[in-house]
Amino acid sequence: MKTEQKERIKLLGLVFAVLIVLVLVIGLFIPRGEDRCEKLPMKEFKDDCYYTLARDTGNSSFCDRIAKQFTHDACITDVAAQQPGSAIDCDRLSSPSLKDQCIRSMASTTKNASYCAGLAGALERDMCYDSVARSNDDPQACAGISTDYMEMTCNNDVYTALAVETRNPSLCNKLIYNESMARIGLVDNCIFTVAKQNNDTALCAGIHSSVLLQQCMTGVVDFTVCDQMSDTDQRATCIFSLAVSTDDPSSCDRIPTPYLKDNCYYQMAAKTGDSSICSRISGENLRSACGRGG
């Protein structure tokens, strides 16, 4: 090997050794923990340092030392994401959109509807309560909803789901509606659903409508029986009971009573997830509530 090459190798070895010594010296003398961030010269560097420190330690209190709003909020949510199931103080977030996102996330993660109260918008709060109630089969969460129709639908859907799940048609009696005939029709349809979903005709027994009871027992939909009824209210209730047990919105067209026809469309839209059905509702308030999903 030439002398010149040997000298180069020695020089490279020396440089490498010096670098190792520098790394060791830096490791020994540069402060660790939060002190290392405080001594940084630029605010941006400090923010990045505290962000890294918070993420590495799992301690979101370091996020509060970050000056930049976006980085501060991102730090808190990032650290929280590393600790599934832990509660986040969403009020610490300065961005309204991130705060709302945090509240919705915490309500869903902890299954605690009380978080929903922290949302700024009334519709946002209502949707949050509705989501928690449905995802946890918790009718009590529906009580936080400010919109009457949405609260009623939330309550009725959750109790129907519970009745089906537990094979307990008596829970259908907890359904609510502001018109007594419509309520009876909803209760009957709930019992019908419980019997149908569980494939058990013995569960049909609590149905008030003789026509729907027959359909529940036999599986046959026969609107002609309703058409033979001379009393308009009885005929309307009969058709309503049969119509809401189907998935066909055109069945609601046969109902002679306007408020029952509107409610039939409303129930059909909720059942099928087709919001276009809402446009058939004549009542403005119910049509608006239907279009918002509750």
In a domain, 256, yes or no: yes
Show which of 110, 128, 156 is a domain's final residue.
110
Q: What is the mean pLDDT of residues 164-185?
A: 90
Most confident segment among 81-85, 113-117, 232-236: 113-117
Same domain, 85 and 189: no
In a domain, 136, yes or no: no
Same domain, 208 and 101: no
Query: Is 257 strand, coil or helix?
Result: coil
In a domain, 212, yes or no: yes
Residue 18, pLDDT score: 47
pLDDT over 70 (residue 3)? no
Tokens of 59: 């301690």
pLDDT over 60 (residue 33)? no
> Based on C-alpha coordinates, what's the Rg of the chain?
32
> Sign of torsion, CA 259 264 270 274?
negative
Higher pLDDT, 293 or 280: 280
In a domain, 14, yes or no: no
In a domain, 251, yes or no: yes
- Compute the distance between CA of residue 269 and CA of residue 245 in angstroms, rounded to an integer: 13
Residue 230, pLDDT score: 83
- Compute the distance between CA of residue 190 and CA of residue 209 in angstroms, rounded to an integer: 12
- Compute the distance between CA of residue 245 and CA of residue 276 in angstroms, rounded to an integer: 19
Task: Please report, for residues 105, 213, 221, the alpha-carbon distance to residue 206 in angstroms, rounded to integers and kept in the order given.
Answer: 40, 8, 18
What is the number of domains present in the chain? 2
Show which of 110, 127, 156 is a domain's final residue.
110
Most confident segment among 92-101, 112-121, 160-169: 160-169
In a domain, 68, yes or no: yes
In a domain, 17, yes or no: no
Query: Is 145 strand, coil or helix?
Result: coil
Burial of 132 (0-12, 13-18, 19+ CB in 10 A): buried
Same domain, 195 and 84: no
Residue 134: closest CA among 171, 115, 107 = 107
* Contact of 128 with 116, CB cutoff 8 Å: yes
- Compute the distance between CA of residue 172 and CA of residue 239 in angstroms, rounded to an integer: 19
Same domain, 173 and 283: yes
Burial of 73 (0-12, 13-18, 19+ CB in 10 A): buried
For 254-282, what is each residue's pLDDT tens digit?
A: 998 888 899 899 888 888 889 899 999 99
In a domain, 221, yes or no: yes
Domain range for 289 is 169-294
Same domain, 188 and 283: yes
Same domain, 182 and 249: yes
Same domain, 179 and 248: yes
Residue 145, pLDDT score: 94
Same domain, 173 and 293: yes
Residue 4, pLDDT score: 63
